[in-house]
Structure 1
Amino acid sequence: MTGIDNMVPMSLRVTSAVIAEQLRERILDGSFAPGEQISELQLAARLKMSRGPVREAVQRLAQEGLLVSHRNRGVFVVELDVGDIEDVYRGRRAIEKEAASTVYERGIPAGLVARLEEILRNIAQYMDAGDWPKLAREDLHFHETMVEAAQSPRLSRMFSTLAAETMLCMSAFDERYIRPPTAVEEHQRLLDRLLGGDLTEMLAEIDRHMTHAVDSLTTARRERDGDGSSYA
C-alpha cells in the first residue's frame, strides 16, 4: 500500500488545515517515504476534493519543512541529511535556551512541574512498550511544554516551525535513535536542572541534550544507510 492509498476521503467542506494534518501524519508515519513525489492531482482525487484546498495544504507543509518544491519537477517529501539535522537542532537549541532564561526571570509557572512529570511517566511507559511513534511525540511534547512555559508567543511559534522537522528526524530512525533508558534519564536531568535554580547549569544541560540528539541521529542514519564513514 502506498502513501496515497492511506489518505482518507473527506467532506467537500473540510479545510486545508485538516488536509494538511492528515498528510502530515502520513509523512511522519512513513506512508510517504523521504524523497517521494506528492501529486496534488492524485491527492485531490483520493480525497474527493478540489485542488484548491489540497494546494494550500501542500504549501503549508512546505512552510513547515516537510515538503520541498523543485522547479519543473514537482513537490517531494523532504530528505533530511546530516546538515539538515544539525540545523534543526541548532535552531531548537537557541529557542529552548532563551525560553529557559525567560522562565528563570519570570519564575516557574504553576502546574509546569506536574505537567513535565506526567510527560516523563508517559515517556517511560512508551519506552517500556516499545511504542516509538508515541515516545517520539512525548519527547517533543516535553520540550514544547518547557518552551510554552516562557509565555512568549513568538518563541512558541518559532518552536512550532521546527516541531514537524524534529518529528521527521526522530520517527525516521525509531529505536536506533531512542536508546533506552536515555530518553527518560536525559529529560529527568532537564527537569532537575529547572528545579535546581541554577540557570548556567540549565543552559549547559540543554546544550548537552541537543548535542547528544544530533550525535544519536547521525549514528542512527549511518546504521540505517549502512554507511561506515564519518560525517563532518
Structure 2
Amino acid sequence: MSEPVLEPILIDGTVETIVNRLRDAIEKGAFSPGQQLRETGLAQQLNVSRSPVREAMQRLIQEGLLYRVRNRGVFVVELSEADMDDISVARQAVEKTAAKELARNPRKQIFDELHRVIVEMKAASESGRPWSDLVDLDLEFHTVLVGSLGSKRLMAFYQTLLTETRMSLMMLEDAYPHPEEIAAEHRQLLLTVKGGNLGDLDDQIKQHMDHSAQRRQSMGNRAS
C-alpha cells in the first residue's frame, strides 16, 4: 500500500513537529493499521532529513502507536479486541472519578460546555458530517469531563489514552447506522451526572463504554 501524502514541513522540522504530524495521521486513519512506514518516504513527504524522522518513529514506538519487526521495518499498530477492552477499562477508571466529583460538586460552566458539545454532535450527525468529526466531538466531551477535575497528572495520563481511543472509535463507523444515537448516549450520561446519584453514575459510565464493545462484537458477527 502506498503511503498517504503528508504536507511538507515548511520550517526547520523538529522531532516534536514530526511526531505530532505522524501521530495525527495515525489517529485519523491516513495510515492503515498494519501498514509499513518507510523512513525515506516519510522524510521526502515531510521535506526533512531522515534523522529526525527516525527519532520521531522511535518516539511513536515507545507510545505504542508503531511497532518494529526485526529485518522487516516499522508498522502501524493494529488494535485487537483485547487492546480496545483494556483501553475501556483504563478510561472507566479515570472518567468515573471525574464524573463522580462533578456530580458531588456541580459546576454550571462545565455542564454548559458538555451541553455545547452534545448540541454539536447532534448537528454533525443530522448534517451528515464525516464520522471523524463525530469522533472528535466524542473525545472532546470526555476530555472536558476529565479536565473538570483540574488534575494535571490525571489529565496527562488520560491524554496517553486519547490516540488509541480515537483509533478504536474510528473503527466503529459501520456500527452506528444512526449516528444521532451518539448525541443521545452522551445526553443521557450528562443527565445522570447532573442527577447526582453516584450508583447510577457508575452503571451509566460502564454501560456507555460497554455499548461500544457490544457494537464491535455485533460488527464482527455480521462479518463472519
TM-score above 0.5: yes
Q: CA deviation at 1:135?
A: 0.4
Residues 136 and 152 of structure 1: is their aligned pair in 2 closer, same or farther, counting only changes over 3 Å?
Answer: same
Name 1:94's counterpart in structure 2.
93
Structure 2 residue aligned with 1:187: 186
Corresponding residue number in structure 1 for 2:114: 116
Number of matched pairs? 223
The amino acid of 1:119's aligned partner reads V
Which residue does 1:50 correspond to in 2? 49
> C-alpha offsets along residues 25-73 of structure 1, whole Å, 9 cap, x if unaligned?
3223332111011112221122121223222322333344322223333
Residues 1:40 and 1:111: Cα distance change in structure 2 (over 3 Å): same
Normalising by the residue count of structure 1, what TM-score does the alignment of the two structures yield? Answer: 0.87
Cα distance, 1:110 vs structure 2:
4.7
SS of 2:34's equivalent in the other structure is coil
**Percent identity of equivalent pairs:** 35
| Aligned residue in 2 for 1:213 | 212
Matches within 5 A, 1:121-200: 121-130=119-128, 131-177=130-176, 179-200=178-199
Cα displacement (A) at 1:192:
0.4
Q: What TM-score, normalized to structure 2?
A: 0.89
Q: Secondary structure at the match of 1:111?
A: helix
Deviation at 1:176, TM superposition (A): 2.6
| Structure 1: stretches of 5+ with no match in the other structure | 228-232
Name the CA distance, whole Å, in 2 between partners of 1:140 and 1:111.
18
8 Å Cα contact 2:27-2:164 kept in structure 1: no
The alpha-carbon deviation at position 222 of structure 1 amounts to 4.7
**1:170–1:177: 8 Å Cα contact kept in structure 2?**
no
Amino acid at match of 1:120: I
Answer whether contact 1:9 1:48 (CA < 8 A) is retained: yes
Unaligned segments of structure 2, at least 5 residues? none
